[in-house]
Amino acid sequence: MRKYLLSLILLIGSFNTFSSQEVLLGSGEWPPYAGKKLKGFGFLNDVVSTAFYQEGITATFDFKPWARVEIETVRGEFLASPGWSDQEGRKDKFIFSEKPIIVDRTVFIQLIDNKFDWKVLSDLKKFTIGSNRADYYVEALTNLGVKVQELNKYPQGIKMLFAKRFDALIVNESVGKKLIRDLSPQEQAKIKIHALPYDENLSFLVFSKNYPNVESFVEKYNSGFDKIQNSGLYQIMLHDLHQGKYD
């Protein structure tokens, strides 16, 4: 039934388009949100391409390291890139989508037998936190006086957590749940997500200010995103994300 509804919504969307236009977007690897080998290239990319499709635009993706994606999007080599937070300084570089692609929580993964606990931000100063070096948490936590162990990849963080190299791993909740699903049942039984989230994380589609006619594409994407939200298709995709179908 879900597959039928999804196909019907896409078909209805295709009746509303009169021509097909292709655009190139930049993406890095961030399972289950983005990945070359994932369903729909990951949840974020799937949502974005589906929104563009409603407006007669075909989105294709070029996968590179996130740092390169940022540089090349700024230059206008990519129209846009999904999955960026509204971080200080980024609005000087990019045009942000009207709505976030997803609102998710930032959480801490910890060993069950570890005494890691916190209620206010100052409590975190007692601990060492693992964080992907590309995430904004590194600077934010360091500015708070928290000791941060920087990582290159999230799976490396899980290994270091089991080795007790730090007290907790800070990560986007959907990403964290994917990391946990990838573990053996025995390993899963040893870790948990702390009940108190660090913050709420909004992931947007950012557009290059240097891409020709970018304002028109921003308008069309925002319109397409509204359509998939109002039709219920977005909610189906979000459910699939939470069920691990983008792993």
Domain ranges of the chain: 2-102+201-242, 106-200
pLDDT in tens, the chain (247 residues): 455 455 445 544 444 444 579 999 999 999 999 999 999 999 999 999 999 999 999 999 999 999 999 999 999 999 999 999 988 789 999 999 999 999 999 999 999 999 999 999 999 999 999 998 888 889 899 999 999 999 988 889 999 999 999 999 999 999 999 999 999 999 999 999 999 999 998 999 999 999 999 999 999 999 999 999 999 999 999 999 999 999 9
Hey, which residues does 110 pair with through a beta bridge?
192
In terms of CATH, what superfamily is 106-200? Periplasmic binding protein-like II (3.40.190.10)
Which residues are CB-contacts of 38 (< 8 A; sequence separation ≥ 6)?
Answer: 31, 32, 246, 247
Q: Which residues of 137-154 are buried (b: 16+ CB within 10 A; e: fewer)?
A: bbebbeeeebebbebeeb
Residues 103 and 202: beta-carbon distance below 8 Å: yes
Q: What is the pLDDT of residue 87?
A: 80
Q: What is the pLDDT of residue 20?
A: 75
- 2-102+201-242 matches 106-200 in fold: yes
| Protein fold of 2-102+201-242 | D-Maltodextrin-Binding Protein; domain 2 (3.40.190)
